[in-house]
Amino acid sequence: MLCRAVGQLAAGIAHDFNNILTGIIGYAEMLMAEEELPYYIKKRIDMILQSGLRAANMVKQILDFSRKSVSEEAVFDLTSFLKEFLRFAQRVIPENIRIDFSTELEQCRIKADPAKIQQVFTNLVVNAKDAMPDGGNIHITLRKEYIENPSFAEMAPGDWIVIEFTDRGCGIPSDILPHIFEPFFTTKPVGHGTGLGLPQVYGIIRQHGGFIDVRSMVGCGTTFTIFLPFTAEDITATKEKPLSCPQGRGEMILIVEDNEEVRSFLVTFLTELQYRTISVSNGLEALDVYKQKKSEISLILTDLVMPEMSGLEFCKKIKQLHPDAKIIAISGYPLMSDDQKYMLECFDRIVNKPFEIKDMAVVISELLHSR
């Protein structure tokens, strides 16, 4: 009862919020397109836009939680989907976390919204990663099981698809366990978790007619078990949709780029990936901004050739003061391998122009999640 009421309340608020946010985001975007506005005003409007987009992402999670979001269902093979997910996930989590997947099924059809299932898997993998700060293994298994005596009241006996995510992380204390699916429940420090990951997982699984269970032991690890309805339907003929770009979670990226077109492109595309951005046109300004906002800035994206202060000089100054700052250089010309080696001593990554959006998204996400 209470759960339903909370869900309804959340969905109601979320819907109204979406309307309000549409106005905020829409008008901010329109203002951004005005040519006459001074640069500093545009920067402020951009802040409104970024905050609006972050809020929109939270609303999406709440709608998923309360099962009020729209689904695009298709029948697809979960075996190959998981294999591709693994490749994608392995690239965006730190190297000291290994993910393996085992199944005896050659093919395993489910009827689901692939984007939402990917969101579920991503949330579980990120949680497992967070539970193993010193690294470790995440083990994923997939099987079909005939369940005679379901442990959930609403679950019908019969064939179910069972997916398990196991980590050997810190585990969940028994007094915390009953709360983990509650919206906004988090044990992570402020700014590190909103507590919407598992509620979103729960909502999506229930929306698909499935169930989720968790077993955990402090110091030993945690297993999340997902049950999804078995389907005998044929695979929906669809064009291969690539997995989407790894998304940000509102992390702030400082963009240093003198070319205005490239700069505004970077802002737009990073914003779309749910990052927040501050953009400046030269190294001197960037140093200033970094000094003021260093605690908020998670990553720096800098051009190499710029007037006043080159990207390299800027980077050296930053690294002298803050050796653990994360910096990606965008290079406008191909670097010789010797140059490249030298550059990599200064920058954490180098991306060549022109780059593919997806590649850049992966590099950013990898670097953000590395230590």
Residues of this chain that bind Mg ion (CB under 5 A): 127, 197
Q: How far is it, in rounded angstroms, from Cα 360 to Cα 34? A: 28
> Which one-letter amino acid corresponds to residue 316?
K
Whole-number minimum distance, CB 370 to ligand ATP, in Å? Answer: 18
> Which residue of 194, 298, 302, 365 would you call a contact of ligand ATP, by CB under 6 A?
194
Please give the DSSP secondary-structure letter assigned to residue 147: E
Told to check if 198 binds ligand ATP by CB under 6 A, we report yes
Strand ranges in 113-210 using DSSP code E only, listed in sequence order? 136-147, 158-167
CB of 201 to ligand ATP, least distance (A): 7
What does 194 bind: Mg ion, ligand ATP, none (CB cut-off 5 to 8 Å by kind)? ligand ATP
| Smallest distance, ligand ATP to C-beta of residue 210, A | 17
φ, ψ of residue 217 to 5 degrees: the values are -140, 130
172 binds ligand ATP, rule: CB under 6 A: yes
**Which one, 164 or 313, has the nearer CB to Mg ion?**
164
Tell the residue number behind the tokens 């970077």, with chain if given: 266
For ligand ATP, the binding residues in 217-256 under the rule CB under 6 A are 222
In DSSP notation, 229-291 reads E---SPPP----PPPPPPP--S-EEEEE-S-HHHHHHHHHHHHHTT-EEEEESSHHHHHHHHH
Q: Does 274 bind ligand ATP (CB under 6 A)?
A: no
Shorter beta-carbon distance to ligand ATP: residue 128 or 318 = 128
Task: Based on the shown chain and the rule CB under 6 A, indicate whether residue 185 belongs to the binding site for ligand ATP.
Answer: yes
Strand, coil or helix: 45: helix
Cα-based angle 359, 365, 369 (whole degrees, multiple of 5): 150
Closest separation between CB of residue 35 and ligand ATP, Å? 38
Angle at 292 between CA 286 and CA 297, to 5 degrees: 70
d(C-alpha 136, C-alpha 100), whole Å: 11
Residue 193 makes contact with ligand ATP by CB under 6 A: yes
Cβ–Cβ under 8 Å, residues 250 and 276: yes
Among the listed residues 7, 52, 114, 197, the single contact to ligand ATP using CB under 6 A: 197
- x/- site string to ligand ATP, residues 72 to 101, per CB under 6 A? ------------------------------
Tell me which amino acid residue 214 is.
Answer: V
Among 43, 188, 293, 353, binds ligand ATP (CB under 6 A): 188
When CB distances are held under 5 to 8 angstroms depending on the partner's kind, the choice from Mg ion, ligand ATP, none that residue 187 binds is ligand ATP
Q: Which is nearer to ligand ATP, 119 or 281 (CB)?
A: 119
Sole residue written with tokens 């978790």: 193
* Residues 132-171, interacting with ligand ATP (CB under 6 A): 167, 169-170
Q: Which of 128, 256, 327, 361 binds ligand ATP (CB under 6 A)?
A: 128
Stretch that binds ligand ATP, among 10-18, 195-203, 343-351, 355-363 (CB under 6 A): 195-203
Tokens of 145: 């099981």
3-class SS at 109?
strand
Instruction: Give the Cα separation of 138 and 224 in Å (integer).
Output: 11
The answer to whether residue 364 forms part of the interface with ligand ATP (CB under 6 A) is no
Q: Distance between CA atoms of 28 and 120, rounded to whole angstroms?
A: 31
Residue type at 186 in one-letter notation: T
The answer to whether 110 and 76 are in contact (CB under 8 A) is yes
Q: Given the complex with Mg ion, which of 127 and 282 has the nearer CB atom? A: 127
Q: Which window, 197-205, 308-316, 322-330, 362-370, contacts ligand ATP (CB under 6 A)?
A: 197-205
Residue 298, contacted partner among ligand ATP, Mg ion, none, CB below 5-8 A by kind: none
Q: Which does 223 bind (CB under 5 to 8 A by kind): Mg ion, ligand ATP, none?
A: none
Write out the residues near ligand ATP by the rule CB under 6 A.
123, 127-128, 131, 167, 169-170, 172, 180, 185-188, 193-199, 222
